[in-house]
Structure 1
Amino acid sequence: MRGMSPQYRIRADYDDRTIVMYQAYSAAVADPALRAGRFVPPFSFGRMTWIKPSFLWLMHRSNWARKAGQERVLAVRITREGWHDALSRAVLTTADPKALTRAAVHVQWDPERSLRGAALNHYSIQVGIGRGLIRTFADEWVVDLTDITALVRKIAGSVQAGNAARAQRLVPAERPYPLPREIGRRLLVDS
């Protein structure tokens, strides 16, 4: 992985206080969370959960909410303070295995995706929140959960119908995220 390249830049939907992450779940997990306005069982607090600020990367991963157990897509709005806290504790998945084992948060970079799922020439960040930090994520960082499955299906339908321009207009807007330099440097982010 090349460091400090514009290829490694966080792109996200964010405002002054919050940033949107995307996750895909089964209805059994999504419905209780949406009713409660926060993650509750059967959401697993005992295993790492991966959060992604890239909408299109999650669409690739969940096959546009068609993969088993990933039929519901949630926009998970978290505090930027929590996001920075997570990233300040993160270790790259390419790091020494012992350091990775001890890390509260894992970060990996995967090729960003196009509307049709093709790998692009820049990378998208995936952040794994470990067991020791999941309660903090769920109880303190998450400020809103929104079911965007209907939007996902509309975009996927437009792509399948050959209307890429319409689909692209519906994709949530993402722009480069201004990460504090000391955090970004460790995670190979171009600031």
Structure 2
Amino acid sequence: MPPTYEIRADYDRDTIVVYQAYSKAIATAALASGTFAPPFSFGRMTWIKPSFLWMMERSNWGQKSGQEYVLAIRIKRSGWEEALSQAVLTHPERGVYRDADDWRRQFESAVVHVQWDPERTLRGESLDYKSIQVGISRHVIERYVQEWIVEITDCTPVVRKIHRLLQDGHSSKAKPLLPKERSYPVSETISQRLGMKLR
């Protein structure tokens, strides 16, 4: 079994894939521009997720209102790691912060949030190890949109195909369609910041 806290992602030497789900209007504009553009909001936090199956849990396989289009966003690893290096956890984990007040002070001024939630199976069951979600605030979004994004791909067709196979009881045919995700290496500093060695 993987470690409790581990980043798993589809990545290469220079880039990493994260997922977001949006309405048709936002997705269409992003695909046409090669990055996010209005009506995408630059004034609110946006959450990116490197786990495909956690994105499926969050969007219910693209069935939730406003999340019908699932996008694979390939971003620079340098940007991803810059975000992680500024992240503050959404909970005051012991071993990361001196105390609750220390966490609260950091969280209130944080420009990037990190939350760990149970990873999911192909059928949506919770696993014993965690998946990372990274919240990028309005203070960082412009860099994400203008500098970090390399490519945006519409993976809605494959999402719908996998979902249809699962509904028809063909999980063995669905599994090979999943992205190939593997453990993503991070520095000791980032590992400590994200609480990855707490258990």
Which of 127, 130, 139 is 1:132 aligned to? 139
Aligned Cα RMSD in Å?
1.0
Could you tell me which amino acid in structure 2 is paired with residue 169 of structure 1? P
* Residue 180 (structure 1) shift: 1.4
TM-score, L = length of structure 2: 0.91
Deviations 1:67-103 (A, max 9, x none): 0000000000000000000000000011323311200
Q: Mapping of 1:1-191 within 5 angstroms?
A: 6-95=3-92, 96-190=103-197
Deviations 1:82-132 (A, max 9, x none): 000000000001132331120010001000011111101110000000110
- The percent identity for this pair of structures is 58
Task: Please give the per-residue CA displacement for 1:27-61, whole angstroms capped at 9, x wherever unaligned.
Answer: 01000110011100110000000000000000000
Runs of 4+ in 1 over 6 A off after TM superposition: none
Residue identity opposite 2:50 in structure 1: P
SS state at 2:138 partner: coil
- Within 1, Cα distance between the matches of 2:135 and 2:31? 21
User: Take 2:108 and 2:145, find their aligned partners in 1: how far apart are those partners?
Assistant: 22
For residue 169 of structure 1, report the CA deviation from its aligned partner: 0.6
Q: Which runs of 5+ in 2 are unaligned?
A: 93-102
Q: Distance in 2 between matches of 1:97 and 1:8?
A: 22
Structure 1: state its 5+ residue gaps: none
TM-score (norm: length of structure 1) = 0.95
Matches of 1:54 and 1:20, distance apart in 2:
9
**Is 161-170 or 14-23 further displaced after alignment?**
161-170
> 2:117 & 2:159 partners in 1: Cα distance?
21
Count residues with an aligned counterpart. 186
Structure 1 residue 189: Cα displacement: 2.2
